[in-house]
Amino acid sequence: MKDSNLLIQGRNHTFEGHYDSSNQFLYLDTLTGLPNRESFLALLESKEQEAKNHLILSIGLSHTEVINALRGPVVFDSVITEAKNRIMNSLPPEVITARIGTNQFCVVAAYDHFIDAAAIVKVAKEIQEKLDNLFFVDGEEYYIASYIGASIRNYHEYHEQPPLTELVHLSDLAVIARKNEIYRNVYLYDSSIKRSQETLHKLELALRSDVEDQKLLVMYQPIVNLSNQVISLESLVRWHYGGEWIPPKDFIPIIEKLDLIKEMTLHVVKQAAKDWKMWKEKIPTLSYISINISPHLFRHDEGTIILQPLMELLNQYGLSPKEICLEITKNVFIESSTHAFLKKCHDLGFILAIDDFGTGYSSIGYLIKYPFDLLKMDQEFINRMEVDEKLRTIALSIVKLAQKLNIRVIAEGVETIKQLHILKEMGVHAVQGYYFSKPQLLDKWDSGTFDERRNSFFKLH
Ligand code: C2E
Ligand code: CA
Ligand code: CA
């Protein structure tokens, strides 16, 4: 290897480059002739001492992956080359442009004047408008969208400044976080972005290790059958982190993103299977335990990924699928693997519930198409029921329709005796909610309060 002076294409910036064994420059993007990330960072280091104000823009292109997948690398390369030309033509010649990722460019511009948001928008808008125009390759039209992250360093003799290389990272972060939008798809880094990204990063690490170490807890909430008082339980996962209980709506999406939903669900099933015997001692007439099943689990392979280990666990703990209800949220039913999954569950003997029915994309069609035993009427429905007559009418029609289809209705989120009376009157099969009990840990179960509530309601009916 020998050192050499490297001339960056079309511009007059020079910096050290290296030849590799086949006499190729290392660190140079072969398609565009621009510096790649490494050489760009090296170049920035050489500018570190300049007494100037610096603006860094990280420009991400979307849709180019689709172009690559559909039309192949030759078309993709043409689009990228054209994007490079458009970016460079939007900027004065002294601005340095680099290709720092497959579909990502970065520019650094130095100014004598103070850089404010308006100055950033002026440059970013120019680039964005050029990229917004259609691309033509071999007579076909293509459109790409651009996202621009910005970070700035206004020079100050006496203040400590982040290195310019760090600024590249910060402008990347601004695009990733998509916060602090100063213009359409132009995001300016501020320190809160880093803090929130760091928090998320820490949270993800902690969650991953707690799922893997099976540290999540399971709480149970009773479901009370209104005709015979028989109790079932819904298992609800809980995560204790940093001295707080993090609600499932905040951490389950992260678990899904980390691809740990299978591990989490099996942990919940295992815990429920272990707790089953103890619950039976506390509540001898216990009917079943519900498990929430995320759609991610049956999206691709008809749910084999979860059903196989689930059956093994139930065998191991001597439970029958008849004692387990699988609660499925309804807003994903369009996918073809759902049908096969639900049929398999039904054939295996699981009780099947459609969860959160009554809001969002609920469709009566699902009730006919899929083999559900139970319909869980969404709590939003229940809490507005007392004051909204129309809602009551809709709820009543759902109950009647379900009855005709041989599907039993469970009302969720029942908090008041008044709601309970309305629901009983309608012919709802069972209720669940704070009125009877909040979700509880097995060893914190307060049967006294629960029995009192239950007895006082059933004495009246
Ligand atoms: P969900 O399946 O609809 O569960 C019912 C939620 O309503 C629970 O919230 C429960 O604590 C809450 N709730 C029950 N009664 C009342 C009431 O009277 N008033 C009010 N305001 N709320 C009530 P939670 O435990 O925060 O769970 C939220 C969601 O997280 C669940 O909604 C479910 O979709 C999901 N989830 C919980 N555990 C699991 C799990 O193990 N696996 C999966 N995939 N999702 C889970
Ligand atoms: Ca549920
Ligand atoms: Ca629900």
Question: How confident is the prediction along the chain (461 residues), in pLDDT tens digits per residue?
Answer: 333 444 444 344 444 455 545 554 456 788 998 998 888 988 888 888 888 899 999 999 998 988 998 899 999 999 999 999 999 999 998 899 999 999 999 999 999 998 999 999 999 999 999 999 999 999 999 999 999 999 998 877 666 678 899 999 999 989 888 888 999 999 999 877 777 788 888 999 999 999 999 999 999 999 999 999 999 999 999 999 988 899 999 899 899 989 999 999 999 999 999 999 999 999 999 999 999 999 889 887 888 999 999 999 999 999 999 999 999 986 665 567 888 999 999 999 999 999 999 876 667 788 888 899 999 999 988 988 889 999 899 999 999 999 999 999 999 999 999 999 999 999 999 999 999 999 999 999 888 888 888 888 887 77
Q: Tell me the one-letter amino acid at 402.
A: A
Q: What are phi and psi of 165, to 5 degrees?
A: -65, -35
Q: Measure the CA–CA gap between 55 and 150, rounded to whole angstroms.
A: 7
Residues 6+ apart with CB under 8 A from 64: 76, 79, 80, 83, 102, 103, 144
- 70 Cα: distance to centroid of ligand 2 (angstroms): 40
Q: What are phi and psi of 433, to 5 degrees?
A: 160, 175
Ligand nearest to the CA of 356: 3
**CA proximity to 341, closest of 307, 375, 374, 313:** 307
Residue 236 Cβ < 6 Å to ligand 1 = yes
Scanning 178-334, the segments in alpha helix (DSSP H) are 191-212, 248-257, 261-282, 304-316
- 412 Cα: distance to centroid of ligand 1 (angstroms): 9
Residue 439 Cβ < 6 Å to ligand 1 = yes
Residue 294 Cβ < 6 Å to ligand 1 = yes
Ligand nearest to the CA of 296: 1
- In the DSSP assignment, the letter for residue 140 is E
The protein residue with its alpha carbon nearest to ligand 1, atom 42, reads 292
pLDDT of residue 360: 67
- 58 Cα: distance to centroid of ligand 3 (angstroms): 42
Q: Which residues, chain by chain, have CB under 5 Å from ion ligand 3?
A: 355-356, 412
Give residue for tokens 């004495």: 459
- 353 Cα: distance to centroid of ligand 2 (angstroms): 9
Residue 295 Cβ < 6 Å to ligand 1 = no
Reading the block at residue 124, the tokens are 């970013």
Ligand nearest to the CA of 377: 3
Q: What are phi and psi of 78, to 5 degrees?
A: -65, -40
Give residue for tokens 């996918």: 335
Q: Measure the CA–CA gap between 318 and 105, rounded to whole angstroms.
A: 58
Residues 410/431, Cβ–Cβ less than 8 Å: yes
Q: Tell me the one-letter amino acid at 152.
A: I
Residues 6+ apart with CB under 8 A from 123: 55, 57, 90, 91, 109
Ligand nearest to the CA of 291: 1
What number of other Cβ atoms are within 10 A of residue 173's Cβ? 20
Residues 109/153, Cβ–Cβ less than 8 Å: no
The protein residue with its alpha carbon nearest to ligand 1, atom 46, reads 292
Given the DSSP bridges, would you call strands 181-183 and 186-188 parallel, antiparallel or unpaired?
Answer: antiparallel
pLDDT of residue 410: 98
**Could you give the C-alpha distances from 230 to 170, 327, 351, 429, in angstroms and in order?**
57, 19, 16, 11
Query: What is the model's pTM?
Result: 0.72
Q: Measure the CA–CA gap between 203 and 200, rounded to whole angstroms.
A: 5
Residue of 233, 292, 356, 359 to test ligand 1 pocket, by largest number of atoms within 8 Å of CB: 292
State the DSSP string of 75-104. HHHHHHHHHHHHHHHTS-TTSEEEEEETTE
Residue 268 Cβ < 6 Å to ligand 1 = yes
Instruction: List residues bridging with 137 in a β-sheet.
Output: 140
pLDDT of residue 16: 47
Residue 237 Cβ < 6 Å to ligand 1 = yes
Residue 355 Cβ < 6 Å to ligand 1 = yes
Reading the block at residue 64, the tokens are 């180019």
What number of other Cβ atoms are within 10 A of residue 422's Cβ? 19
